[in-house]
Chain A
Amino acid sequence: MRLLRIVPDETKFDFMRFRRISFPISALMSILAISLYFFHGLNFGIDFKGGTLIEVQTKAGDADLAKMRATLGSLGLGEVQLQQFGAPNDVLIRIAEQPGGDAAQQTAVAKARGALGDAYDYRRVEVVGPRVSGELLSYGVIGLGLAIFCILIYLWFRFEWQFALGAMIANVHDIVLTIGFMSVTQIDFDLTSIAALLTILGYSLNDTVVIYDRIREMLRRYKKLPMPDLLNASVNQTLSRSVITHVTVSLALLSLLLFGGEAIHSFTATMMFGVVLVGTYTSVFIASPILIYLGVGTGRDSLTAPAKKDDKP
């Protein structure tokens, strides 16, 4: 049986030359993502904005959104959003945070329930008060920052500081682009989004570290090889692994995206974008070439140690 080879054995792509294109593109995309964040904004879910989320399912027939909207709109609860959620009889109701503190949120839920009556099955009710939402947001941001910091320290210990810095720039790039994605798609930004961001961080780094590991090995072995060539060789050698791993992770994510249900849909969609699209691109086109600018391998030629072999990878 012939085995599947997605990537041929000896590839010689000149990834480093792409940096003249990939760096400006990434810079542009990052700026775009940041401006999207500021001007288009994220669709904060109730975890961070506070308010109420009710998922209802009609007991018989499809849901009549217009009628529900009219019923709920007359309660004077401020902004009420309705959205079909998966099946045609499944509706997600979002009620904006009520003025008047924590108790007011509970009153709003009771009112909505009373108005909708018994024709619906209440599948999920989430109420987040103003103080909790503030805390959750700050925890999320602190956690994300702390994770980046811890990983930076770890990489600094395991590699040299240039590698840690390079990985960090790649990382922030991933997160910025993913936030841009969330802004464009207006996916709910909630606690699971923070989970998605942290996982993207982990995976993207996982990838970067594999390539960096190879670069470090190459640096020890080939003392005179010019840096761009060395980086190219490292990326090419690990290319097959990168591609195969991303296929398996994508397969797992795809299955979650297709069959995992609405509840984790935004989570998996974000991961798909972050891990598969951005993470892979970043480790090859950003994290590796950036080492040239950070000065990895400069001064190797002045080393007195004789080079092994003929310095061809």
Chain B
Amino acid sequence: MLYFTRWKALAIVLTALFICLFAVPNFLPEKMVASWPKWAQRHVVLGLDLQGGSHILLEVDTKAVRKEMLETLRDDMRRVLREARIGYTGLVVRGSSAEVRIREGANADQALEKLRTLSQPLGGILSATGQRSLDVTSEAGGLIRLTLSEPAIVERVRQSVDQSIQIIERRVNELGTVEPLIEREGTDRILVQVPGLQDPTRLKQLLGKTAKLDFRMVDTGNSVEQATQGQVPLDDDVLYSSSQPKTPYLVEKRVLVSGADLTDAQPGFDQRTSEPIVSFRFNTSGARKFAEVTQQNVGKPFAIVLDNEVISAPVIREPILGGSGQISGSFTVQSANDLAILLRAGALPAPLTIIEERTVGPGLGADSIAKGKISSYVGAAMVIIFMLATYGLFGLFANIAVAINVAMIFGVLSMLDATLTLPGIAGIVLTVGIAVDSNVLIYERIREEVRGGRTPINAIDAGFSRALATILDSNITTFIAAAMLFYIGTGPVRGFAVTLGIGIITTVFTAFTLTRLIVASWVRWRRPQRVPI
């Protein structure tokens, strides 16, 4: 156990040195590291609990997606039946299906056939599953039921998440923060992590808004008062203003131009009133539609509707032919700016709900770093002194091995671009505690072998070979626990699992190689007559 060939010793030292070197960028100023090649720049990332920032978990509103799918389905069924000139009564949405009763005498078979065309194969033409988007069934009395299949809903939710991620990226990038992380979690969730925000309120406002913008006509032919009392005309909605006090408007359901037709939106100031406004520009088809509508409706009011709230309802004074316009409506500079961001980024396909939020202010983060440092230094110092007191020279060997061990943990963390959290620092401190355990196991075994009457070199040799098996066994159990923790944990807890797991691996490596090498070199050099422990 104490004999190392020259190349083997060299390999051990080089491996340890190589891993330790990866830790170097963490301790150098950022500017200096920036000029290095990419692979050498890898470094430990501070977790949100240390550098401050927001962790926000969003969920796509599956109910809203389902509702919208059903409404589209109902509209499609109406269109199909009308086009085929098939008479029907009662077209309703019930549960997760839409039902229609074909009028007596009409051709129910033809209706069924036409309605079947609405059902599409899922997963594109390459899909071999044979699943379709709709189940079409018919019952006696001309009742036809189209049911949304569960895979179709899941597929739509998945698409919504993909689109939402793109839109959220555009919105968050406008905030000008460094390295935001936006990724899918599971089927219907999106994780947004933005470091270094003092106040996440604005971020949440930007994330939470669907930002569905519509231009619609205000219905001046009917009375708003009657509508608010419940008599809403069939083609109208009652919508309220976004500003206080909430004023009701009677707005046509028909959308003239939607936010999807916008190409640009910018915040600005009104030249006359110098109030904050948002100016926008339509794409070609949007501009054409808008021109047409404004030509036909000069003198009438139209409503600019954002997420079912009326931002403003100006009267069309003259046809707007240039394809650009402006929205004014009691904005502040901030809210005008945010609306412009939202309009540029586009509307979310479905509403998102914040289901988890964790925000740490930069002050607390800095405090945590300081506390993490102090506790690590004190902990390490106490362990080092204790080991020296207990094992003397061998304690020094152990301390050298532990120091290299910690450097290697930082090296591996850097290689993996891993995140260091406050519990992660605790994990490192604990690793110092167990890393010395491997030395304790070895040394105690050596003491025993010496008492058993072996010569010093024999005892050291036997001590190592017997203790290493134990070290392996005992560390694997802890490693299993760390692996489980990594699997179930999120955020800071995961950071703990990572450092603990890496710490165990480096501990075993050092015990098997470095500690042995150090002791072996000492034995060769001093040829001890007695073991000094």
Contacts and interface: CB of A to CB of B under 8 A. Distances in A.
- Do the two chains belong together in a single complex? yes
A59 to B, nearest CB: 11
Given A146-B487, A199-B500, A263-B49, 12 more contacts: A9-B451, A55-B364, A147-B480, A154-B476, A154-B477, A191-B489, A192-B423, A195-B496, A195-B497, A202-B479, A241-B437, A248-B436
Contacts of A123: 360-361, 363-364
Nearest to B533: A3
A126 B357 contact: yes
A199 B482 CA distance: 7
Contacts of A258: 375, 378
Contacts of A144: 484
Contact of A201 (B382, B383, B448, B481): B481
Contact of B433 (A140, A249, A260): A249
A210 B468 CA distance: 11
A3 B389 contact: yes
Give the interface residue-count category, chain B. Answer: 35 or more
Interface stretch (A25-33, A66-74, A127-135, A294-302): A127-135
A122 interface: yes
Nearest to B442: A241
Given A248-B383, A255-B378, A127 B493 contact: no
Contacts of A116: none
A153 to B, nearest CB: 9
Interface string B440-483: 11001001100100000000000000100110011111111110
B59 interface: yes
A113 to B, nearest CB: 8
A122 B447 CA distance: 56
A249 B434 contact: yes
Given A10-B451, A256-B379, A132 B355 contact: yes
Interface string A170-214: 000000000000000000000110110011011101110110011
A155 B480 CA distance: 11
B371 A143 contact: no
A142 B488 contact: yes
Contacts, number: 239
B497 to A, nearest CB: 7
Chain A CB count within 10 A is highest, among B383, B392, B479, B480, for: B480
A102 B355 contact: yes
Contacts of B49: 263
Shortest 7 CB-CB distances between A and B: which pairs?
A143-B488, A255-B379, A202-B481, A202-B478, A252-B433, A261-B371, A147-B484
Interface in A120-173: 121-129, 131-132, 136, 139-140, 142-144, 146-147, 150-151, 154-155, 158
Interface string A47-83: 0000000010100000000000000000000000000
A255 B382 contact: yes
Nearest to B355: A129
28 contacts: A9-B451, A102-B353, A106-B357, A113-B201, A121-B363, A122-B361, A127-B357, A142-B488, A143-B487, A144-B484, A151-B477, A192-B496, A198-B484, A198-B485, A210-B441, A210-B470, A241-B437, A244-B444, A245-B434, A245-B436, A245-B441, A248-B440, A249-B433, A249-B437, A251-B386, A253-B433, A263-B364, A267-B423
Contacts of A1: 392
Contacts of B434: 203, 206, 245, 249
Given A123-B364, A264-B422, A202 B493 contact: no
Interface string B36-69: 0000000000000100000001010000000000
Main secondary structure of the interface of B (DSSP, over half): helix
A192 B481 contact: no
Nearest to B488: A143
A150 B483 CA distance: 10
Interface of B: 49, 57, 59, 199-201, 204, 208, 353-361, 363-364, 367-368, 371-372, 374-376, 378-379, 382-383, 386-387, 389-392, 422-423, 426, 429-430, 432-434, 436-437, 440-441, 444, 447-448, 451, 466, 469-470, 473-482, 484-485, 487-490, 492-493, 496-497, 500, 533
A101 B357 CA distance: 14
Contact of A241 (B432, B441, B492, B496): B441
B204 A106 contact: yes
Given A122-B361, A158-B473, A205-B477, A9 B489 contact: no
A255 B375 contact: yes
Contact of B430 (A113, A238, A249): A249
Contacts of B374: 259
Contact of B474 (A125, A198, A210, A247): A210
A103 B353 contact: yes
A127 B361 CA distance: 14
Contact of A195 (B473, B477, B489): B489
A21 interface: no
A254 B429 CA distance: 10
A268 interface: yes
B482 to A, nearest CB: 7
A140 B488 contact: yes
Nearest to A205: B477
A248 B386 contact: yes
A265 to B, nearest CB: 10
Main secondary structure of the interface of A (DSSP, over half): helix
Contacts of A206: 434, 437, 474-475, 477-478
A199 B430 contact: yes
A259 B375 contact: yes
Nearest to B430: A252
A128 B356 contact: yes
Contact of B481 (A5, A198, A217, A268): A198
Contact of A209 (B57, B389, B440, B474): B474
A256 B496 CA distance: 14
B387 A248 contact: yes
Given A102-B59, A132-B356, A258-B378, A253 B481 contact: no
A209 B10 CA distance: 33
Contacts of B376: 255
A251 B481 contact: no
Nearest to B431: A252
A240 interface: yes
B25 to A, nearest CB: 26
A4 interface: yes
A283 to B, nearest CB: 11
A43 interface: no
Contacts of A139: 488
Contact of A261 (B367, B430, B477, B533): B367
A237 interface: yes
Contact of B473 (A109, A143, A209, A252): A209
Contacts of B363: 57, 121, 123
Chain A CB count within 10 A is highest, among B199, B451, B488, for: B488
Nearest to A57: B363
B460 to A, nearest CB: 16
Given A213-B470, A258-B378, A267-B423, A9 B437 contact: no
Given A4-B390, A151-B477, A255 B426 contact: no
